Structure 1
């Protein structure tokens, strides 16, 4: 995610199969005979979002069907099918789900009891599940696109329909899920709309069917994806196709009325992909493209294989071309950092945003002569104040009440790119470049922690860098910059 300014072009600032695990080791017979405790919301204990995600199972695939009736102010009909494996004995399965009504739930084809508590949908199968058991959960529900009071993600109304923005804690406002980036899965989307509207989703199209006055299109990802990166767009759109490096299918989705006007931006994407491949290696997915939505979100978002942008970004004359291109590269870089390699916890967010900001700034330097060192020196100047306001990069403060995206503070953008600059200063350009390639190769299609990055950096450098990273990632104050003893920090901002 990259926060985008409203007026002038300044530097970008830029799930709960909750389980009532039995308290003691018991046999399956005793499990079936025992009385379950009251249904409660559960979470996996993420430091920033403690009620997000669910213990006791691992999702392998989602198959989600949406039926849009042509009115973005009315709920969509939906069916979500979740394939998973129990990682512990389960009497109940908690799913993250809010902002929709549930009609029925089945587990492995048998009707199951369910109730809503907090932002959890708690499912009680007809029989308890043993560790290692396969389960298919089928939920028939609605998906409500109307905004909640905090307006903090999920469906985004556009001028001509809907799109999704599920970061950081909002996928479960759209569909039942294990809504935490540590549980990635493959996705299939089936989207039914009135004829004349265009629907798109992550991955590649696999089928289209016309029935009466409706059209159903199906899309499937070839790689696992975090729930926060799901994307479904419905509207009066045109899909533009072209080829990228190595014949990569590039698919852009734009308002039909703007098709010709935005071509100058769309045709830049293949070269941008090539530039990123030159830095960190082969593009990690089956397709890529830009989704231009007629919406006012205040950010751009790295939804997997189809990055979300406000269409106005590409129309405002006050935004220099290099600035718009650098935002495009920021979201493109996320396909490696954040999408292919996803954070294990939300405290690892700096790995996403720091890297995306790094390559955004490096692109601006190489393509528009905007010096990276100048930007990093300014970031260094502000860094102590950013840490005071938002916490250090790898231990960020939690979100403000009712403002979940408030975790996206300057310290995770330029403040974290600054850590990467310091690292390059410490281990040299060659070592840094080898580390970047090794990181995305080692953790591709998976999750990584800050500790994983530190270990790999130390192995690449041939020496223990834990002290360096402890200071730069967890310190209340920013350390001295290697190679730049003259760099100074601004005076503390008084509250």
Structure 2
């Protein structure tokens, strides 16, 4: 997508040539300014696609006459198409600001209606599914200024006219008839631009000819033979200087063509080598430049940033990070295009990430600071998902914080979790999938390829980081014990949409006196996990995520003076007839003395049921069992652990009502965060719907998530934390459920 930095341009003017000390400006600058351009250019009323879905465009022949000193376009567009559904009409997107003079099919005029930015064409005869045909639309007019998709302005001193287009997301229909959505790429196109002979015309694909025509005009022909989305079609006309270079990619000599203003030639010429280097780097990582049989190039224009038009990125200047970002889009956005604006991060998150890959390879000393700054921006607000939750708001679609930066850092975390080798293998598989390459893709398509490459189920990750909102904060307690270290990891979440972020968390332990250090990666899969690691030295300090892979904020460390409290890795209760059996397991008992078993009727008033002596790590598993007889009048249990120094540590509450009738029914897990299972051991079916009552007496209806049987699942994800009771009936009345 286009990158805007017009307002801040003077700050970067002295850095455009990209000194070796660091990148010209950060990826967060680019993303912020680019998203601002979207907000300036598009209003909500423009977020409509009117084209019908009963035909598939195969080819566009575009013949335009323009003069950069006149805000007008005149010409004809001929879409060749195949009917996907039988019908007698097709509809294209075209602004009402333009006047259609005629529509022809096979040389004869046909009827049309042009209203509401839609051009509906009545065909000569109904066409059956699979029929190929074409129509030619002749039109003229001044494109609307609202979305600024077609711009006539000036550059240089003295002022010279220049014309350029910029259509993302919905601006194509402002200056040419097309299908303006994310559902139909043309397989190819030819563009013929008639313009004053004093100027050059740039566009997509290969330059085939520049032919003199009557009236001191030139007819420039560009030919493009790759699938292309309508918003990536572009033209620009002015007194360009043309610079020719080339680069070897995959055995092919790829032409590199630069169209720049005469006054900017020095800047553009000096930036070409950075673009050539980035193309080689990205081709090595993600496969050959996707359009190597034609060209890549830059076209200077007057918008304050850049736009990844296919084979020719439009650029305000040759800022180094701008070059990398727009080039990256040729793979992510052009070769494979997001299928919905909800998935725009597949374009923008990847382009932002590739610009970071380029900068980190060239300027490694800036890596940690840049990553930290970007994460600070991402976490500056507590909520927000990478998934776009409002496609009617262009500022939300092109959100700097979410679509660009959080999208990019979602990829950092995938690289951290999967390893670079697996990540890049999965992404290359995604790019080269015949069903996706030169077409459209969704986030699910990417996830499936990453899962195939890694052998891991990543559903949890995308639920937490793509559709989920917010980020985790870690409260870490640690205690050195000679050459070993104990760690207790607690996590809080900035947004309630995610109850827990499952991540491998890197901690770097150091001894400041001996300069020894060790990176320990803790697989944090649940809250309050306890870990022990043999470092080989005594740690004096710890650094969280030293290479800045994770999206987190407000992490704290507490170094304890004594051993950490016992951590209960498991605690369950189950009915055995009228008895309740409690089982629990600990991960560390360095300072443990004994366990006290507590029971309650209401989860508020507790009484001691007995004690069990702690084994003190003498048994490898630290597993315990305690039976309580005749517990029909109780339903809540917890364990209280006593340290030798008098400190205590309590478990969560578990519940089970055991008796002659209720003892055969079981709710697990309990407490529960999301989904619980209700089952019995004697084959009695569980009802399709359950009634829960909270402590205020309000009733909640739960529908089963599973097929009929004596074991069924129910979700209480939508309920607030607290105590709930199942209504009487079907033998399980009075069972209590605790929502975490």
Matches within 5 A, 1:338-353: 338-353=333-348
- Deviations along 1:379-401, one digit per CA (max 9) or x if unpaired, are 3344355674xx4212342344x
Matched, 1:100 2:98: yes
Q: Which residue of 1 aligns with 2:350?
A: 355
Cα gap change, 1:363 to 1:116, in 2 (>3 Å): same
For the residue of structure 2 that corresponds to 1:247, the secondary structure is strand
Q: Which residue of 2 aligns with 1:32?
A: none
Q: Which residue of 1 aligns with 2:173?
A: 172
For the residue of structure 2 that corresponds to 1:248, the secondary structure is strand
Residue 237 of structure 1: how far off its partner (Å) = 0.4
Q: Which residue of 2 aligns with 1:40?
A: none
Task: After the TM superposition, list the runs of 4 or more consecutive aligned residues in structure 1 that deviate by more than 6 angstroms.
Answer: none
For the residue of structure 2 that corresponds to 1:176, the secondary structure is coil
For the residue of structure 2 that corresponds to 1:268, the secondary structure is helix
Name the CA distance, whole Å, in 2 between partners of 1:484 and 1:382: 21
Q: Which residue of 2 aligns with 1:413?
A: 404
The answer to whether the 8 Å contact 2:83/2:132 transfers is: yes
Return the match for 1:91 from 88, 91, 98.
88
- Deviations along 1:18-38, one digit per CA (max 9) or x if unpaired, are xxxxxxxxxxxxxxxxxxxxx
Higher RCO (CA 8 Å, separation ≥ 6 residues): 1
Return the match for 2:221 from 218, 230, 255.
218
Name the CA distance, whole Å, in 1 between partners of 2:377 and 2:266: 41
Matched, 1:465 2:458: yes
Greater per-residue helix proportion: 1
Cα gap change, 1:261 to 1:416, in 2 (>3 Å): closer
Matched, 1:483 2:491: no
Name the larger-Rg structure: 2
The answer to whether the 8 Å contact 1:52/1:169 transfers is: no
Name the CA distance, whole Å, in 2 between partners of 1:478 and 1:152: 37
Return the match for 2:203 from 188, 201, 215.
201
Return the match for 1:243 from 241, 246, 249.
246
For the residue of structure 2 that corresponds to 1:303, the secondary structure is coil
Q: Which range is displaced more, 218-227 or 127-136?
A: 127-136
- Deviations along 1:204-255, one digit per CA (max 9) or x if unpaired, are 0122321221110110112111111111111110121111123101111101
Cα gap change, 1:425 to 1:53, in 2 (>3 Å): farther
Name the CA distance, whole Å, in 1 between partners of 2:297 and 2:264: 16
Aligned-residue CA RMSD in angstroms? 2.3
The answer to whether the 8 Å contact 2:60/2:79 transfers is: yes
Name the CA distance, whole Å, in 2 between partners of 1:308 and 1:490: 40
Name the CA distance, whole Å, in 2 between partners of 1:344 and 1:166: 17
Name the CA distance, whole Å, in 2 between partners of 1:89 and 1:333: 39
The answer to whether the 8 Å contact 1:69/1:194 transfers is: yes
Cα gap change, 1:484 to 1:102, in 2 (>3 Å): farther
Q: Which residue of 1 aligns with 2:295?
A: 287
Residue 279 of structure 1: how far off its partner (Å) = 1.6
Name the CA distance, whole Å, in 1 between partners of 2:237 and 2:338: 29
Cα gap change, 1:69 to 1:2, in 2 (>3 Å): closer
The answer to whether the 8 Å contact 2:150/2:163 transfers is: no
The answer to whether the 8 Å contact 1:422/1:482 transfers is: no
Residue 433 of structure 1: how far off its partner (Å) = 1.6
The answer to whether the 8 Å contact 2:50/2:93 transfers is: yes
Cα gap change, 1:275 to 1:80, in 2 (>3 Å): same
Greater per-residue strand proportion: 2
Residue 155 of structure 1: how far off its partner (Å) = 4.0
Residue 129 of structure 1: how far off its partner (Å) = 2.1
Cα gap change, 1:490 to 1:219, in 2 (>3 Å): farther
For the residue of structure 1 that corresponds to 2:295, the secondary structure is coil
